[in-house]
Amino acid sequence: MKEATLKIAQQDIDDAIKTIQDIEKSLNTNTPSKEQIKEKFISLSETVQKLEDTLKVEGIL
């Protein structure tokens, strides 16, 4: 895997982890609206899709 691609993949992983942590924190500290939860899951889905695309380009998936 190229160094630049590796950095992109690592950033996508970090973004996904942060989104998951934000969802968990939000669920534990208050009662988020359905719209807030939906927005966070859409963000997570987009981040995971970018990571998957990067891994496919590199022939890992």
What does the pLDDT look like over 16-56, one tens digit per residue? 999 899 888 888 887 888 898 898 899 899 989 989 998 88
Closest listed residue to residue 51, CA positions, set 21, 3, 11, 4: 11
Domains in the chain: how many in total? Answer: 1
What pLDDT does 42 receive?
93
pLDDT for res 1: 65
Query: What range defines the domain where residue 33 resides?
Result: 3-57
CA gap 15, 47 in Å, rounded: 7
pTM for the complete prediction?
Answer: 0.75
Q: Does the pLDDT at position 5 exceed 90?
A: no
